[in-house]
């Protein structure tokens, strides 16, 4: 590849990840608080938040098929992002349960396949250029840190409406780098037809495990800021704790190449899920601010190494003709079905038993997921 063009593409991939996750750094940790302050019950919060993964589960493959068939995929992606984030702004004007459900549904459906599509293209770019996926994706974590930390202070000063306004604005700006990316790479029509081939047995274990694990992860993401609020701390602390955790994620992503040269991806995945369980158990049984800051440093493995491990397994252990299908299915099962279960179940648990019970049960789910991957890893060794 031309060195100058390669460097420019890497910059635009990094810029997209930064802006996109800066928007999500406002949307994901703070939206439940926005709904709570507008009078939503725990169940209502869970239902509305579940619409995001519901769309992920139902529409991801359809979105990526439309994206791949588009003669101008960069324009398709950018338009979807712009329309989604314009729709999101209307939450400020109509913050009722029914209207919020419609708005979140529209927002999610319009951008549901964006990250799997861009991740697939950036992984293909990594194979051709040698520029590590993790070193581009880590800018997403940096954007998430910046927006999450700053947003905590903004919420304390200007209130919860600022959550929606900031997420909408950052989301619209994230469409800009999409116009400059070569997003058609890896989306050939012939590859989609070949993608009907079945997955090897071990990958089905991975898919089941990520459902349970991401349900537990959703427990944490949806209710951690509410835990901080109920413990009597400001949202500035909530933002800073998120920031410290994702800083560790940046570290893991930067050194991902070295980590996976030394350790098997399946073993890193098991460790990541187990550390995610430990974090949930500690949050369940402690309201000490210093402990909450310290334990969230495990986020680097609880999400960063977890996500990279699954992508590595797809790249290393699956035939090329089914990798795109596998990546879409991973997104559907984890960010989709697992997050649906986590969103609804955590809301029910909150209404019945309170916020600490959410994290305790989430920890059990994360332990169970690591056991499933361990069994799947044995299948992988046998097949090898």
Report the alpha-carbon distance of residue 369 to residue 133 in Å, rounded: 25
Cα gap 114→125, rounded to integer Å: 16
**Token pair 């997209």: residue:** 16
Phi, psi of 177 (to 5 degrees): -65, -20
Count of Cβ atoms closer than 10 Å to residue 168 Cβ: 23
DSSP string, 341-369: HHHHHHHHHHHHH-HHHHHHHHHHHHHHH
Per-residue pLDDT of the chain (384 residues; tens, 9 = 90+): 556 677 788 889 999 999 999 998 888 778 888 888 898 887 888 788 778 878 888 888 888 778 877 888 888 899 999 999 999 999 989 889 999 999 999 999 998 888 888 887 887 787 777 788 888 888 988 888 888 888 888 888 888 898 889 999 999 999 999 988 877 655 544 444 444 567 888 899 999 999 999 999 889 987 888 899 888 888 788 878 877 888 888 888 888 888 888 999 999 999 999 999 999 999 999 989 999 999 999 988 898 899 899 988 988 888 877 877 788 889 889 888 898 888 888 888 988 998 899 999 999 999 999 999 999 887 666 655
What the block records as the tokens of 264 is 């098997």
Which residue's entry shows tokens 């529209």? 106
Place of tokens 């098997």: 264
Work out the end-to-end distance of the chain between its first and last CA atoms, rounded to an integer number of angstroms.
Answer: 33
Residues near 157 by beta carbon (within 8 Å), at least 6 away in sequence = none
**Placement of tokens 């400001």 in the chain:** 234
Q: Give the helix ranges, DSSP H, for the chain.
A: 3-37, 42-69, 73-93, 97-111, 114-129, 133-158, 161-173, 189-194, 201-230, 235-254, 256-262, 265-285, 289-295, 299, 306-317, 323-331, 339-353, 355-383
Among residues 49, 155, 158, 25, the alpha carbon closest in space to that of 97 is found at: 49
Q: Do the Cβ atoms of 94 and 103 come closer than 8 Å?
A: yes
Q: So what's the pLDDT on residue 107?
A: 93
Instruction: Tell me what pLDDT residue 66 has.
Output: 84
* Predicted structure pTM score: 0.74
Residue 299 burial by Cβ neighbours in a 10 Å radius (0-12, 13-18, 19+): buried
Query: From CA 75, how far away is CA 63, in angstroms rounded?
Result: 14
């Amino acid at each position: 590849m031309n060195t100058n063009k390669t460097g420019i593409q890497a910059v635009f991939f990094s810029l997209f990840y930064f802006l996109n996750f800066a928007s999500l750094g406002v949307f994901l940790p703070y939206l439940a608080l926005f709904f709570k302050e507008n009078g939503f019950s725990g169940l209502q919060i869970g239902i509305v938040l579940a619409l995001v993964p519901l769309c992920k589960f139902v529409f991801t493959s359809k979105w990526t098929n439309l994206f791949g068939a588009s003669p101008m995929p960069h324009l398709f992606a950018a338009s979807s992002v712009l329309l989604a984030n314009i729709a999101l702004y209307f939450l400020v004007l109509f913050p009722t349960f029914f209207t919020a459900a419609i708005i979140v549904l529209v927002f999610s459906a319009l951008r549901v396949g964006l990250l799997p599509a861009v991740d697939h293209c950036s992984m293909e770019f990594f194979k051709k250029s040698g520029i590590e996926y993790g070193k581009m994706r880590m800018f997403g974590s940096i954007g998430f840190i910046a927006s999450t930390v700053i947003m905590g202070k903004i919420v304390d000063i200007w209130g919860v409406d600022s959550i929606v306004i900031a997420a909408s604005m950052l989301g619209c700006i994230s469409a800009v780098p999409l116009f400059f990316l070569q997003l058609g790479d890896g989306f050939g029509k012939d590859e989609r037809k070949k993608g009907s081939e079945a997955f090897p047995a071990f990958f089905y274990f991975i898919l089941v495990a990520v459902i349970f694990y991401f349900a537990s992860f959703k427990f944490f993401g949806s209710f951690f800021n509410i835990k901080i609020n109920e413990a009597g701390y400001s949202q500035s602390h909530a933002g800073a704790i998120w920031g410290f955790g994702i800083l560790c994620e940046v570290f893991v992503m930067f050194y991902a190449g070295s980590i996976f040269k030394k350790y098997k991806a399946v073993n890193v995945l098991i460790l990541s899920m187990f550390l995610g369980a430990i974090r949930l158990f500690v949050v369940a049984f402690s309201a000490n601010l210093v402990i909450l800051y310290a334990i969230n440093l495990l986020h680097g493995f609880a999400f960063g190494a977890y996500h990279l491990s699954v992508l590595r397994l797809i790249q290393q252990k699956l035939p090329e003709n089914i990798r795109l299908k596998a990546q879409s299915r991973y997104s559907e099962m984890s960010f989709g079905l697992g997050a649906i279960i986590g969103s609804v179940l955590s809301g029910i648990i909150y209404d019945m038993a309170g916020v600490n019970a959410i994290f305790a049960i989430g920890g059990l789910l994360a332990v169970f997921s690591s056991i499933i991957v361990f069994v799947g890893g044995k299948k992988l060794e046998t097949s090898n």
